Chains A and B, each alone.
Chain A
Amino acid sequence: MTFAEIFLDPFIEYAFMRRALVGGLALAVGAGPLGVFVVLRRMSLMGDAFSHAILPGVAVAFLIFGLSLPAMSIGGFVAGVTVVLGAGIIARNTNIAEDASFACLFVLSLSTGVMLLSVGGNALDLVHILFGSALAIDDEMLALIVGIESVTVIAFALIIRPLVIDCFDPAFLRVAGGGGWVNPLFLALVVVNLVAAFQALGTLLALGLMILPAGAGCFWSLRLWPRIVFSVSVGALCCYAGLVLSFHFDLPTGPAIVLCAGAVYAGSVIFGRYGGLVRRAMQRAPA
């Protein structure tokens, strides 16, 4: 096979591959910067909880409206926000720690969602929603994903200054005032992005494109903007590579994309310039 046959033809010949690629690139552009801050705020596991919290809302919408994209997205968003707020309220008003409160609600929503889908739908629906189907993205879905990501990028640009201060030194922002809205806005953006990503990657993997490139970026730069650019670029590249791999080897698309990002992460852990394993070993034993 020639270079073009491997890397270009799938996208030239098949519209569904083009739509999957455009959708994936849009997700990478929105999720990259958010992921950097999810990692900086030490919210990675909480983000996982959010992405699973979407499921019961998607399931209920699916059972009522069928495979309607707007209904499933709105259902997912409502369920995600409800679980986030609910876990926060439970943690503040009871003795349970915040992370435990999130974990409890997340397994509850995951099992509720799986139960609803198994009872009301069939096994294929369940697999589709849990693991996504990037190749099934139609024009309507693509418009929704690109729309959400455009709003995300604009909103991110508007909140980045207080977001940076709040991450770095929350007490400073609380004393100086004026940043009270930044945390809820940021959480809402994360949930919206997970909703957008679940179409392509499924609720179980939606976080992959957000967290893995951002986590890998920690090993390559001590500055914010390079990390954001790195996250977006790696996310976009992995979408492309995952699609090519899944096309030629008949692999499931969502896991192929996330595993590509996983390979970048693994490489960064080993060879990363800041705190990578090889670097550390060399620093311990100077030649």
Chain B
Amino acid sequence: MSAASVALDDLWVAYDGTPAVRAVTGRFAPGSLTAIVGPNGAGKTSLVKAMLGLQHCSRGAVRLDGATRAEIGYLPQRAEIDRNFPISVLDMVQMGHWRRTGWFGRMPAAATRQSLAAIDAVGLGPQVHAPISTLSAGQLQRALFARVIVRDAGLIVLDEPFDAIDARTTAELMALVETWHRDGRTVIAVVHDLQQARTRFGDALLLARDVIAWGAAERVLTPDNLSKARLRLEAANESWADAGAEAGP
């Protein structure tokens, strides 16, 4: 698996002039497994969306190396997909082959076999033909992971993959993330559980609009840094209120 890297160069994201992400510079190394951590409103999802090209960067640039944007295996937040959409688990996972089939191409038998194998791998074998609206939150997340497997991407970006998911599903899906890491894929995930970030991820990026710390997880997620992140965000909120949200690019 040829791993890809992502370099961020003075990246800013702003909504109506109010910065959500400020001056982020750094690099997700090829083959790294990084947790993006930060208090609510720290700009984690904005940063991820800017990397994917889903969010306009008001300044700076994202540079991908070893993969194009279209090749990124992306897991969106569950809130962003239509959970009542009338399709089966298999049809949903088959979407992962979109780059190969395009608008009209036939779905090769080998591609369908890959999808079925991916569905088995996430433990949804019995539900393969079930409509997605009948799945629990955890099962739906498993199905979305199966779609990421099918994409076979060198760079994988997961937005809150374990949010509101039961412990058993979280453990199994985390194990899957670790196999991706062992395959040499670059994996970036927005994570809320600090314990999980500290013990299961090699690297961490602690964000509070700007970067508080970025590096080996156990050195980044120290009590000092975490309280610094909280204070930074509170201070930022107050200063925006005081200054009438005029700062920023």
Residues on A lying within 8 angstroms of B by beta carbon are 40, 158-159, 161-162, 164-165, 167-169, 171-178, 221-224, 227
Contact = CB atoms under 8 A, between A and B. Distances in A.
B78 to A, nearest CB: 10
Interface in B34-74: 52-54, 69-70, 72, 74
B85 A40 contact: yes
B80 A171 contact: yes
Given A175-B69, A177-B69, A164 B74 contact: no
Interface stretch (B94-102, B111-119, B181-189, B231-239): B94-102
B104 A169 contact: no
Contact of A40 (B69, B82, B134): B82
Nearest to A224: B86
B74 A165 contact: no
A161 B82 contact: no
B53 A224 contact: no
Given A175-B69, A175-B70, A223-B88, A167 B103 contact: no
Secondary structure at the A interface, as helix, strand, loop or mixed, is helix
A222 B72 contact: no
A227 B85 CA distance: 11
Interface of B: 52-54, 69-70, 72, 74, 76, 80-82, 85-88, 91-92, 95, 98-99, 101-104, 131, 133-134
A246 to B, nearest CB: 33
A161 B101 contact: yes
Nearest to A217: B86
B98 A175 contact: no
A158 B92 contact: no
A106 to B, nearest CB: 25
B102 to A, nearest CB: 6
A222 B70 contact: no
A282 B52 CA distance: 46
B194 to A, nearest CB: 27
A224 B87 contact: yes
A19 to B, nearest CB: 35
A176 B80 contact: no
A161 B82 CA distance: 16
A168 B85 contact: yes
